[in-house]
Chain A
């Protein structure tokens, strides 16, 4: 399976500021996925990041709020912009796992608290 390094692991941020989360994969992958897990909720897909093209956002998520970069096949960033307490969540990046049919490998997550 791919190994994903995600950072920061946690952060406490002031409302109105922005935080950029980084994900580094140890192998080249076509697509990287960004998820959010709000307290007590399921994992919700924010967007799919493809190298060389704009990210594809799911319903309810917009580029202005969650800009994504994908400069190469092993790296991606997600920025949470103009944060409010409602953005307090765990954010996870993931890639498809070639060793698990239709399965994903996840990073360790970023626990964000907005105060």
Chain B
């Protein structure tokens, strides 16, 4: 079984709709992250959480919100989706005790906003 899972894997929605992407992990890591990937831009950090009570904005948090429901669950919401939020979204986890804060990624959610 995968250590980091994301649901759904693919989603097509319309402008203005509220969307939630979910991430679960069985690695026991405290730290979780949400990134978006766009062609030619690499991965950019949206939000991150170092524990259940800690939420931090990344470099591109506008238009997004998150919820850390438990150590193992971290959800990303688009309150009112717009077409330029069409992208591949990745969840990641890390163990702060690992050298370098190595991050481990889920399989991704491909989101299309029409």
B is bound to A: no
